[in-house]
Structure 1
């Protein structure tokens, strides 16, 4: 599929139809329920009231269960059209949801701004080098854990994608990743995997990873210059 994910979701029409096209069918509704439950489970160790950065926030679909669970969410997205859908969806959380247009690949804070971060349904749109760039930006937002969602690449999932294609179903992720690539993605983004969740592995390639930030290695100590008295 020849499209630019950085521009595609800036369309008002795409934003207004996003949830209906993906989650209105019976399989879509089941997946939506299971994914929301998985995301909530990923953040279960986090005390209620913490602020989670949702990047990209999109229509606020995954921010919703986190808000319902008692967290605060700050949505970040490159598309104001998608965020407008989120604002409408989450009106009942006026004191715990805020959002802004931000390109996390280009705008990286000098220090973490949020207690944790969520990065879902975006990485599989980009080649691995751009995934690392995006996830590095998200990781810099978090003081503790980062939860990511991705599409797992395996021989079984490749077969399953071919079957879906033959049946005329919606195209799968452009850039799914193998387990070896997941290790590269996390390590080069400054993260380490702690826990992993699957939905229904036979019918879904979606994986959910809870990762912790890796503390940067301390700078090597410099030898102190010897004084004249010490060498006399």
Structure 2
């Protein structure tokens, strides 16, 4: 079943955009992988991990190099092609699947841990956010690590100010942690810890949730 709405974050990664996304600035790459390291200190290296969306495969490779058994998945055919080549070239070939986060084909509890990095802020409304979280929780046996953009940051305040002054509205949607947490609570998951890239300054956070029932 295909997702309900073709929002821009779902459809924009054609071949050209996917190649551009692959080449992240080194400083940003280092900061984001450091953030993921802080989260995964709480996740056993024996875990089977689903990286969804895998993008260009940078998180998949980073975790594979730490000993995790990683499956990469994405909706974009271009991203999947880049990830397969990247993992092969890096000496960590693994399973790479096409998946729709709103209708995953995986079985219940198929993975020990799921990381969903740099996708949630593309979701334009609560209906899609709730559906995506329900699917992530369904296929996770224990943990879900989800990145989101906090509205309580300098970056988010600048975006709101720009719109207030008549500028173009951002296609990146900030979501309070309380809202994110409510979606997980309804699926039987509790917040373990929330990690900020730079508290109050940078908008990127990763929240780790654990199954409680």
TM-score band, normalised by the shorter chain? 0.7 to 0.9
Residue matched to 1:12: 15
**How many Å separate the matches in 2 of 1:94 and 1:68?**
8
Q: Assess if the C-alpha contact under 8 Å between 1:147 and 1:209 holds in 2.
A: yes
After TM superposition, the structure 1 = structure 2 runs for residues 114-125 of structure 1, keeping only pairs within 5 Å, are: 114-125=111-122
1:65 aligns with 2:65: no
| TM superposition score normalised by structure 1 | 0.77
| TM superposition score normalised by structure 2 | 0.84
Give 1:108 deviation, angstroms. Answer: 4.9
Root mean square deviation of aligned Cα:
2.6
Q: Which moved more, 1:38-47 or 1:110-119?
A: 38-47
**How many Å separate the matches in 2 of 1:4 and 1:204?**
23
Higher-Rg structure is 1
Residue matched to 1:225: none
Say which SS state the counterpart of residue 54 (structure 2) adopts: coil
**How many Å separate the matches in 2 of 1:93 and 1:64?**
9
Describe the shift of the 1:189–1:206 C-alpha distance in structure 2 as closer, same or farther (beyond 3 A): farther
Say which SS state the counterpart of residue 137 (structure 1) adopts: helix
After TM superposition, the structure 1 = structure 2 runs for residues 179-218 of structure 1, keeping only pairs within 5 Å, are: 179-215=177-213
Say which SS state the counterpart of residue 53 (structure 1) adopts: strand
**How many Å separate the matches in 1 of 2:128 and 2:149?**
15
**How many Å separate the matches in 1 of 2:65 and 2:182?**
34
Structure number with higher relative contact order (C-alpha < 8 Å, ≥ 6 residues apart): 2
Q: Please identify runs of 4+ aligned residues in structure 1 that moved more than 6 A.
A: 163-166
CA offset digits 1:138-178 (Å, max 9, x no partner): 12221111101000012755423246779xxx975532111
Residue matched to 1:106: 103
**How many Å separate the matches in 2 of 1:214 and 1:129?**
23
Unaligned stretches of 5+ residues in structure 2:
1-5
Give 1:109 deviation, angstroms. Answer: 3.9
Number of residues of Structure 1 aligned to a counterpart in Structure 2: 204
Give 1:94 deviation, angstroms. Answer: 3.7
